[in-house]
Amino acid sequence: MFLPKYPDNPTPPTAHTHAPVDPVLVQRSLPRVSISPGAIAAVVAGGVVLTALVTAVVVSAISVAIAAVVLRSLLRDHRRR
């Protein structure tokens, strides 16, 4: 019932043949895409803003970590007395 059915006389697959093409005659050109200077400026400005935001987050995280270490040290010294 679930056994595959094989052909009685299997034939090998035919090989694909390609005609030789002169590489000098084949010229493929990329489509010309014009990007406006405004779009480039917007991407650069966006990159600058995102970089500034990431830098601000990193500086804030480092300062909070330093404050936590200092407070922990002060509280540990206070508990010992």
Report pLDDT digits (tens) over 28-50: 777 777 888 899 999 999 999 99
* Sign of the dihedral through C-alpha 55, 58, 62, 68: positive
Q: What is the pLDDT of residue 81?
A: 60
Using the predicted structure, report yes or no on whether residue 23 has a pLDDT greater than 60. Answer: no
Q: Is residue 79 part of a domain?
A: yes
* CA atoms of 36 and 38, how far apart (whole Å): 5
Q: Is residue 71 part of a domain?
A: yes
Q: Is residue 39 part of a domain?
A: no
Q: Is residue 76 part of a domain?
A: yes
Q: Is residue 64 part of a domain?
A: yes
* CA atoms of 44 and 40, how far apart (whole Å): 6
pLDDT in tens, 46-65: 999 999 999 999 999 999 99
Tell me the pTM. Answer: 0.50
Q: Is residue 68 part of a domain?
A: yes
Structural domain count of the chain: 1
Q: 77 lies in which domain range?
A: 56-81
Q: What is the pLDDT of residue 5?
A: 79
Q: Is residue 34 part of a domain?
A: no
Using the predicted structure, report yes or no on whether residue 8 has a pLDDT greater than 90. Answer: no
CA distances (Å), 9 to each of 5, 19, 53, 70, in order? 12, 31, 70, 84
